[in-house]
Every structure is written in C-alpha cells, then in structure tokens.
Structure 1
Amino acid sequence: MNEDDRNAIPLYEQIYALAGLTQYYRITQSWEVLEDIRRTINTFQDFYHDPPEAKERGFAGTGGYYSHIDPATMRPDADVLGPNSARKNWNSIGDHIPAYLINLILCLDPLPQGDNRLRRSMEELLDRCWGILEETSSLIVDKFPDPQSDYVNERFTADWKPDHTFRWQQNRAVVGHNLKISWNLTRCAFYFQTRAKQFKDAGKTNKAKDQEKRANKALDLARNLAERMGDVGLDQLRGGIFDCVERQPKNGMLTEFAWGATKDFWQQEQGILAYLILHGATTNDKQFLTLARESSAFWNTYFLDRERQGYFFRTTENGLPVLEGEYGRKGGHAIGYHAFELAYLAHIYTRAFVAAGGAVTTTSACISRWRTTPIRRRSTCCRISC
C-alpha cells in the first residue's frame, strides 16, 4: 500500500474500484453489476460524506467527502489516521466525476420505460448521482481556486482551510490535478447546459437559470486553469506536462520544480483530454487545439514503449524513460485505467470536436449530432460529455 494510505481505507481507491464496473454496466446493463455500484456509492455516503447533518456525529458538516477512514472505527476523524485525520482533498472530492459519475449518469438518463419499481429504483440512484455531481463540482469551483497562485489548493482541513503541511506535498501543486479539474469541469459544464435546456423546455425557468449559472462558473474555471497551465505547467520548448511544482515559485520564476523536471504518463492524459474537450467548448480560438496537439505529440513520441507494447510511467524533460525502481515495473498507478481512458476519450473528442470541423458551442448541438448518427457509428460521437 502507498505509505500515504497506511492504516486507513482511502476513498480514492474505493472510487476507482467503480471505474471498470460502471463502464462494464454501461455496455452490458447487468442488474447485478448495478447493484454492486449502488451499494458502493451508499458506502461513500454513509462513511465518507460530510453533509450538514453529519454534525450530529461530531463531524464538521461542511460538505464534500473525507479522504480516509479508520478500518476499526469506520470514522474519518480517528487519531490513528495521523495527517489524514479529518482531511479532504482533490481525490476525495473530484475523482467521483471521471471514475464513475459521468458514465453512470449516461447509463441511467433517460430512465428505462416499463417496470415502475425498476424505474423508481433507478430514478433514486440517478437523483443521488446528480446530487453528488452538483455538490462536488460546486466545491471544486468555490473552494479549490487560490487567488495567490496559478494552481489550485489540493488538500484541506474538515472546514475547508487549505492544508499545506501534508508530508511530500506541502505547498506544492501537481500539474496533472489542475488539468484534470479543467477537463472534468468542462464535462460538468456540458452536462449542466443539457439540464438547463431540459428545465427550460419544461417551463422551469429558475432551475434552468441555476444550471446555466453552474455551467458558466465551471467552464470559466476550466478555461482559466487550462490557460495558466499552458504557461506554467507545460514544457514550452519540448512539449509535455510537468509533474510536481512549487505553488509559490521563488526568484521571479514562472515555474519552480519540486524535485525535478520529470513528466508522468497519467498527467499527459489529463492535459490531452482537457485541451481537446476545451477546444470543443470554445469557439474561434485554436489555442486549446494547439496545446492538445503538442501534448499528444510528446505522448506519442516518448511515452509509448514499442518494444514491450506498453508505455513508460515517467520520462525526463527530454523524453528519456525513467526505469529505476518502481518506475520500471509498471505497477501501482501504471495499471490500465489511465491508458484505456485516454485511448477511448481522445478518440471520441477528436471525432466530435476536431474531425467534425470545429467547436461545439452547446451540448444540444452535440446531442443532436449523436442522435442523428447511425447506431453502429455512435462510438465516434460525443454524447453530452462522455
């Protein structure tokens, strides 16, 4: 186990356990798999969630999800958790969105016709997913940005004070996390635009305005982060996305590396997907497409291990693979998830936003394109935000 998670049950591992299950359910519609997903989400809500009523159990009640719980007491505030006690972070808040929420909402909406009991059960799960998506995206928009830095805050106390004391991270930023926020807030914005149109068509004007406001706030932060990372998080000379940097660089430098100018494979994925989808959300501006192509070029040139039909976890700034120790074993976070996700979504975004001839300014236009595409070809079109 990662040393950061010792003697604890980290939420992000439970979240990503749903990634494959949700995609599998999206394909098979297996009710047994859906029940596993439902029960796992219920566990998140029962043990990690911090809603206002959690104050009755002695928690902060300030929203979001705690990052770890003690396996003995099943509480997030146990002393045995050490620096993870009563803490919230990017992974415990934001990872819900790409790991399972987007795919699960796409599975459940529209709800199935026929059996009323089944429909009610799925409607309850869909409502819960909508609630999690709105809560987590709102927290990211409201709590994570830092006006004193180009980067977001990534770790917090229970009452949302930034925590710059955690072990290796201190006051440092992971560039890939900033780009992951940019990518997923854009997906959320597409979703909120769709909801706004649905409410407007149903005559629910106030709800439509609320969804439009959510969409605009999410997209504004997504664009701002992507633009800033283009200046301070990407290699302006060689291409590629840097790893860990100081949030407050010294000596007037734009970028100060925490340990070295290395580049990790999963962070390239976040950048490629963020810039591709933002190209689709932005009209008359090619900067995001340019950054997407530069990031893709570095990935294709240096991260693919053609001798072993795989990919390298980490490279130097010049693209030379780092193979010492765990980096050469392809274990841990170098499992298939990020590579599968990149291959799947980069293809969809490229077909929907690049090959289709430009930006899609509204989600309704994207949905219309998806619905008018023959079923056998729909995998190449972006439905809502994929």
Structure 2
Amino acid sequence: MLSLPALQQEVYQEFLRIFQYWETHTVDPRGGFYGRIDADNQPDSKADKAIVLNARILWAFSLAYRVTRKPDYRTLADRAYQFIKTYFWDKKNGGVYWSVKADGSPSVTKKQLYGQGFALYGLSEYYRATKMPQVLDDAKQLFQTLVEKAYDPKQGGFIEAFNEDWSQTEDYILSKGEERKSMNTHLHLIEPFTNLYRVWPDPELKKHVRSMLENDFMGHIINPESYHMRLFFTEDWQVKSTEISYGHDVEASWLLYETAEVLNEKGLLSKVKELSLKMATATLEGLNPDGALTYEFDPASGHKNEDRSWWVLSEQMVGYFNAYQLSGKQHFLEKSQQSWAFIKEHLIDYNDGEWFEKTDAHHQPSRKADKVNAWKCPYHNSRACYEIWHRMQVKK
C-alpha cells in the first residue's frame, strides 16, 4: 500500500489533471460547454447540452475554485452558471429543463427531479465558493420550487418527473410506468439539500433533509436485512425492482453519513454511522479480486454486469475510506487503496486525458466511449480525489 502522504499527493495531482482536461477540451466558444466529446477528444458541435452535465461542471469548477482559489476555475464556474441561468432556467414555470440544443434553445423541457437536484448541487457549491447573494437566492428559489411542486406530503419523498409546467406525466427517463419514485433521484436530492444546508441552515430545509434520511432512506430505500438499496418504487413506496447497484450502495454509505454530520445531531449520527458501515460491508459481496466492484447484479435473474465503471471505482474509493475512518478497520483502507490502484492502472487515460468510462471484466477499456456526454462528467472522479485529499487534510 501507498503511504497516506503519498496517496494524498497522488489524488491531489489527479484532481488538478482532471480539471486541466476540462479547461482544455470542453469550452464551447458559442457559450457554455460542449454537450459531447468523443473518444478522440473531438467535440460534437450539434449535440444537445444536458442539465446533468452542465450542473456537474458548475459543481466541479466551484469546488476546484473553493479549494485552490485559482482564477481560471472561477472563470469556468462563472461560465457554467451563466449558461444555466440563461438557457436552462425556466423563468415562467420554475426549475430547469432537462436539456437544451447546441445553440441553447430548449430541447427536452420536462422537469426531471434528478436534473433539478444536480442544478441545486451546482448552485449550492457555487455559492460556497463565491458567496454571491444572487446565487444563494437562486438556490433557495429552486429548493422551494421542488418542495412546492414535487414533494409528496402524503407518502413522503419526491415524485420522479413532471411536464414542463409541473403537471403530471407518465414520461420518465430514470424510471418508468408506475415507478414514480427512485433511489437514484432521492440520493441526488439529499446530496444537494445537505450541501445547501451547510450555507443556509433553514428550518424547513432541515426538516426535508432529516425526512429524506430517516423516512425515505432508512424507512423505505435501504433494505434492513441486506443493507442494499432498493432502486424503484410506486408512489406509496411499494418496491418494483430486484437489482443491486453496488456503486450506488457504496456511494450512499458515505453520502448519508455526510448528511448526518451536517445535521449534527448526536443520536442520529450514531445511528447513521452504524448504518453506513453495514452498507459498506454489504457491498463487499460484489468486490472482485482485482479490487473493482461489479457494476450491478440482479439476484432474481442471476444477471451480472461485470463492467468496471469510472464512477463506481470513484465512489468505492471514498466509501471504503469513509468506512476505514469510521471503524478503524485496516481492510477498508486497503480496499480504498486497491480502488485507486485499479483507477491508475486501467481507467486514467494518460495519453488523451480524463478517464475511460469503463473497462470490461478483462480490464480492456472502452476506447470508443465518449470522454464527455450527458452522463460523463468531472463530478465523480474529481470529487473522489478531493474527498480522499480533504479527509487527510482534516486529520492533520
């Protein structure tokens, strides 16, 4: 294993290298950032631009600026913010569009809660970095819109998607049919709500953060027997899926503990610490001898997705390091380091920059996969590098 100082130095250098790629290759001279860049770093000037990608870019460059105070990062965070406010922000109905065309005109105008969550994550981090009052106002407005339009006061949690005007829809992207609530959307709502609470300790916001943690995750989403998360639900929380997503399980194991830390309630923190360790431990069944988690497994059908994914490796590096910090158990530190070793050997593209999206079970990278698209972004990998670096900074 690397010494911890050596690990800290390596992840920080990779943190900077990731942003060098995004500075160099992704800025669209017409405004904002390209919606797609192929495996050869060639931009697709006609590709739609997704709120998930643009909000994650805003979050990432805001984080980078907050950590380094490098002016170039502030410039790119400003660029992302201005593009979102100009083209994604629905001034009539509230919230943000799912995607816009390459020229910024609306493309998919539905209100997908997953995308709203990332817009809020980006805004809250941008405010942490800049302290601009208008940005906090934007974040508050978006939060209040989500509560007003999408919160389910009867059953708790948030409905998955709506039409442009927030009327009911059956058209879902991340879930389908009667599956009106999902683990993934709730995970990426509690994440920005928590980040917003850091800078705006509003009582209603706290109520929703606490409710998502205790009622939605601990009451419905996390299986109390297996400590895996259930993925899809009806409006009244009937489970409609059997798959296990190891990457989301390990990601939630540290994100939910982070939420409990920010809420700073002793009893809740103790409860979530125990839960976090059980969730991290439960993922070990999906850990392969090469140090990478299996992407997904369905015990009902036996189907297993053996891809080694860039985002899963990122999250397991943090999740296992968090479990090491909470438990003191050396094997978690070793598994975090094994994650980093896999990333260095198989996922980082040392020739053309950024990371490959995935490898197969034999470690062959997806060399034809996009470097940038609606889902391939600087969020999971830069955050993982930051988290490991920061956790060791705090310990000093």
Contact 1:7 1:80 in 2 (8 A): no
Matched with 1:233 is: 286
C-alpha distance 350-315 of structure 1, shift in aligned 2 (>3 A)? farther
SS state at 1:310 partner: coil
Matched with 1:106 is: 198
- Which letter maps to 1:180? E
Contact 1:176 1:243 in 2 (8 A): yes
**1:151 to partner: Cα distance:** 2.6
SS state at 1:336 partner: coil
SS state at 2:265 partner: helix
Match runs of 1:360-371 below 5 Å:
none
Which of 372, 378, 386 pairs up with 1:330? 372
SS state at 1:328 partner: coil
Matched with 1:319 is: 363
Provide the alpha-carbon RMSD of the alignment: 2.4
Match runs of 1:153-168 below 5 Å:
153-164=230-241
Contact 1:67 1:84 in 2 (8 A): no
**1:8 to partner: Cα distance:** 3.9
Measured in 1, the distance between the counterparts of 2:250 and 2:270 equals 18
Residue 137 (1) aligns with residue 137 (2): no
Matched with 1:43 is: 145
C-alpha distance 84-10 of structure 1, shift in aligned 2 (>3 A)? farther
Which of 164, 183, 190 pairs up with 2:261? 190
C-alpha distance 80-307 of structure 1, shift in aligned 2 (>3 A)? closer
Measured in 2, the distance between the counterparts of 1:233 and 1:247 equals 12
C-alpha distance 277-147 of structure 1, shift in aligned 2 (>3 A)? closer
Matched with 2:335 is: 291
**RCO higher in structure (CA 8 A, sep ≥6):** 2
SS state at 1:290 partner: helix
Which of 345, 351, 362 pairs up with 1:301? 345
C-alpha distance 234-243 of structure 1, shift in aligned 2 (>3 A)? same
C-alpha distance 322-34 of structure 1, shift in aligned 2 (>3 A)? same
Matched with 2:250 is: 179
Contact 1:240 1:299 in 2 (8 A): no
SS state at 2:164 partner: coil
Measured in 1, the distance between the counterparts of 2:377 and 2:274 equals 32
Measured in 2, the distance between the counterparts of 1:79 and 1:238 equals 41
C-alpha distance 26-216 of structure 1, shift in aligned 2 (>3 A)? same
**1:64 to partner: Cα distance:** 0.6
Matched with 1:55 is: none
Measured in 2, the distance between the counterparts of 1:289 and 1:338 equals 19
**Deviation per residue, 1:320-351 (Å, 9 max, x gap):** 21134xx2343121111222222221211233
Residue 17 (1) aligns with residue 119 (2): yes
**Deviation per residue, 1:52-80 (Å, 9 max, x gap):** xxxxxxxxx100111111225x234x345
Residue 262 (1) aligns with residue 304 (2): no
5+ unaligned residues in a row in structure 2: which ranges? 1-47, 51-97, 99-107
Matched with 2:55 is: none
Deviates further, 42-51 or 138-147? 138-147
Which of 216, 221, 226 pairs up with 2:270? 216
5+ unaligned residues in a row in structure 1: which ranges? 52-60, 109-122, 165-170, 197-211, 251-255, 357-386
Residue 30 (1) aligns with residue 132 (2): yes
Measured in 1, the distance between the counterparts of 2:323 and 2:227 equals 19
**1:87 to partner: Cα distance:** 0.7
SS state at 1:311 partner: coil
Measured in 2, the distance between the counterparts of 1:21 and 1:43 equals 14
Measured in 2, the distance between the counterparts of 1:127 and 1:65 equals 19
**Deviation per residue, 1:77-96 (Å, 9 max, x gap):** x3455935561111222212
C-alpha distance 63-137 of structure 1, shift in aligned 2 (>3 A)? same
- Which letter maps to 1:225? M
- Which letter maps to 1:233? G
TM-score for both structures, normalised by structure 1: 0.69
* Structure showing greater Rg: 1
**Deviation per residue, 1:332-382 (Å, 9 max, x gap):** 2111122222222121123335xx4xxxxxxxxxxxxxxxxxxxxxxxxxx
Matched with 2:188 is: 95
- Which letter maps to 2:237? W
SS state at 1:140 partner: helix
**Deviation per residue, 1:108-146 (Å, 9 max, x gap):** 3xxxxxxxxxxxxxx5xx223212210111111111233
Matched with 1:382 is: none
Measured in 1, the distance between the counterparts of 2:261 and 2:325 equals 10
Matched with 1:75 is: 167
Measured in 2, the distance between the counterparts of 1:79 and 1:106 equals 35
Residue 243 (1) aligns with residue 295 (2): yes
Q: What number of residue pairs does the alignment pair up?
A: 289
- Which letter maps to 1:35? D
**1:249 to partner: Cα distance:** 6.5
- Which letter maps to 2:286? G
Matched with 2:321 is: 276
- Which letter maps to 2:133? W
Contact 1:68 1:85 in 2 (8 A): no
SS state at 1:318 partner: coil
Contact 1:264 1:315 in 2 (8 A): yes
